Amino acid sequence: MNKKERITFIIDELEKLYPKVPIPLEHKDPYTLLIAVLLSAQCTDVRVNKITPILFNKADNPFDMIKMSVEQIKEIIRPCGLSPMKSKGIHGLSQIIINKYNGEVPADFKLLEELPAVGHKTASVVMSQAFNIPAFPVDTHIHRLLYRWKISTGKNVKKTEEDAKKAFPIDLWNKLHLQIIWYGREYSPARAWKLEKDIITSTIGRKKIIKEYIKSN
C-alpha cells in the first residue's frame, strides 16, 4: 500500500472497531477535564479515574479548589505521582482561571499553555475533548502506532503530531486520536503484543518491526 491507501485503511478499520469512542478520563466540564488530564501525566487513566472523584467531591471548580491548601491537594492526588508539582499546578491554575477568566477555562491553546503545569498535550486534549476544537494530542500509544504504521518517523512526539495533522483530515482529528489510543491499548500495546490480533500493523506495519516480532516469538 502507498501512504494514501494506508491512511484510508487506518481510518476505515478504526471506524469499524470504534464507531463511538469514549473519552478515557471521567469529567463533567472543561475544568474537571483539565485537572484530570494534568493528573494523568506519568499515571494511568484508571488510577486518575479513581482519584478524581475524591478530589472533585471536595472541589470540582476553581473557586472551591483554591480554598484547599496545596498540601491538602497533594495528599489527595499522591497516588497519581508527581504530587508536589501537580498540586502546585492545580492550585496555581485555579487561581489564575478565577482572576483572569472569571472562573471559566479559556478555550484557547496559547492561554491554556500559559497556565501552570499545562503543556501542549494537556492543552490539546482540553481543546479537543472539552471544546470540540480540532487538535491531535499525542500520547505514548499514538506515538508508537503512527511509527508502526509508517505515518511518522517516530523521532519525537512533536514530529508525530505534525505528521498526524498532515496525514489525516482535520475533521477527523478529535475522534481519530481517541480511536488510536483505544486501539493501541487493546490491539497494539508496547508489551505483551500479539501481532496476529493487530490487523492494522500486520497489514501495513513496518517490515522491520514485524520481522523483529517474528524473530522474538
Catalytic residue numbers read 121, 139
> Is residue 200 within 8 Å of residue 13, measured between CB atoms?
yes
Phi, psi of 126 (to 5 degrees): -65, -45
* The three three-digit cell numbers of residue 72, written as one number: 491538602
Contact call for residues 7 and 168 (beta carbons, < 8 A)? yes
Cα gap 107→123, rounded to integer Å: 9
79 φ/ψ angles, rounded to the nearest 5 degrees: -60, -15
The single residue listed with the C-alpha cell 489564575 is 96
Among residues 173, 203, 175, 166, which one has the least CA distance to residue 188?
Answer: 203
**How many residues are present in the chain?**
217
Helices (H), 40-172: 45-58, 62-65, 70-77, 83-101, 109-113, 120-129, 140-148, 157-167
Alpha carbon distance 191, 188 (integer Å): 8
Element (H, E) at 177: helix 173-186
